[in-house]
Structure 1
């Protein structure tokens, strides 16, 4: 049974913005400025360029293959099943970790430390239930959460830039090339939301036209928001942002507007929920596509007849995210997620590079830049995150090898019986 095409351009843009303008914009500046120093805006530009190249690849692929699954489906069609499997597996494992990170960040802003783990678990469970009742409800809730997030960020930018700081900010440390790339890698983590639009290609109206426009609009909006917020943090806090756990709240305190910090906490919690909701939705559609092909257990491919969503996939994913929330910390989740996301986009660029003729919507040079950018940024990740990510990808490949071998044996047995 196919999924229902119910999402409009506005819905798709809201889901993309809800994924990108998430917890990252409220938390990423301290570690990014810590490594990039005075080159933070250069790092932001690099992250945006890599994200744009990846977005053009995703848009070009989605226009030709408007089905659920994102690069899993695109790479299968363009460069072969194995490439599709690695892309889909990388997306699933990376975004499960992202979901855990978003849930942890929501709880960190919303409640005291003693309550953070149970509240994070409850958030995952509640949003999984929302997803199980239909994608239009998901889009509506995402719009509300995005509006709350943008309002909070507007308060930070307007009050932060509109008032004289209560103290002179410490100068940023000098930038190094490697530090700027590290900062770009951290900032890229928050730009990756446009993939959620592409993975929902089977539910978007007029996908060949809507998906590319939605990706461009959502990414452009996110770049503007990040640039304004980053400039505000640099001008108000400077090097004092290093080590801050809530840098945007610190901006308001330094600018003499401490009474407004609860608004930022509410906005951060809303942004985290918006990203978590969109992430769960996108992963569910990739799992659905992989289960349809047998690359994941086929029982996950069932679509609920009433609500027309893959409820089994949604519930299994929620259980895995909750398990990560209970066993991992935020730093580990982010590092592991970045590895999977960058590998996913590397394959997306390779698949888009192979397209020819009328399918081409952007120069091949953009795919080359996107692929090289992914390779460079993935090598800035912590060694532990890369090793864990590699091990999990290898485990997925081993699973598929075993499954294919068992299927071949079963086919031989059936042929012999005949």
Structure 2
């Protein structure tokens, strides 16, 4: 059989009996895909790893807690043989041959009637890479090919155009804190498929250079506002381009719903009858402190963290933040958009009970090549911002977690 290449095929196993022999690491890796395929799975094994046992406890598989017996494969459509006993594997393989059950063997590919390809998934597409014959099987090579193809589809470097008509609409994509590698794979793929990208100043700008030449890139900060408020003008631009039948990506920094006015845009699009997809992003409130060596929570130090917008000062009548209550919390306080208001914020927190010695870290341009961290206390932070010339965008972290990690480089 090894003289001929394997014939690739996709098995539709939903509701069909699949028998897995052995509850070890091989089963642990293969079972999730079989469960996802809807197979009626019977595991035959005296023991199983904790993860496999959890699948049985959850009712995802049926577990016969005993060794293999002749006849176990009689009603199966497909079998995975992965016990640690070669004799058992051979006996089960022989039974599979008698009953014409396609059978994968983890210990001896030459004696199997089926091979498991290296598989990956990207937006409704399954990529399966299979070695052509058993003698030249190289699992690491096939896995590397699989990974390269899937990654290319996800990040847009391997462009596979849709030949069916795409539904026009808008995707609100959270671009993450700034490093282009921190955008989600779905966000990157949608960018690669876009006709128009309307980008925020704080979005991952480096990604825009990777877009194909035909993509129209619009800087949201430079949209002519005219008689409109800035947000209205952005909403109108999204609606206008989508109504022209284009695929539009609204690229925002961080996450669209964390001080990003994402819901305002979703509501405007809904009122205009335009389909909208929201792709969450990594929020700078947790990623930027992490990139600077600061955990927002830490066992025995902080059991909660609070994220606050600092664009409105505590004494401003428009403020919706309960600063006196925040001063009483013992956890971490993360402030976004608060560089120019940090003096008043620190003063208010101290006035309502927070110690003046509470550590503060300001992380400017977090996750980018220009990232820098400046440390202070509530008592000194206002002066530190002035003397160190800290500029937005910067994430401010207040609390004992600032001192948990290694000391920042001088």
TM norm. shorter chain > 0.5: no
TM-score, L = length of structure 1: 0.22
- As a proportion of its length, which structure holds more strand? 2
- As a proportion of its length, which structure holds more helix? 1
TM-score, L = length of structure 2: 0.22
Larger radius of gyration between Structure 1 and Structure 2: 2
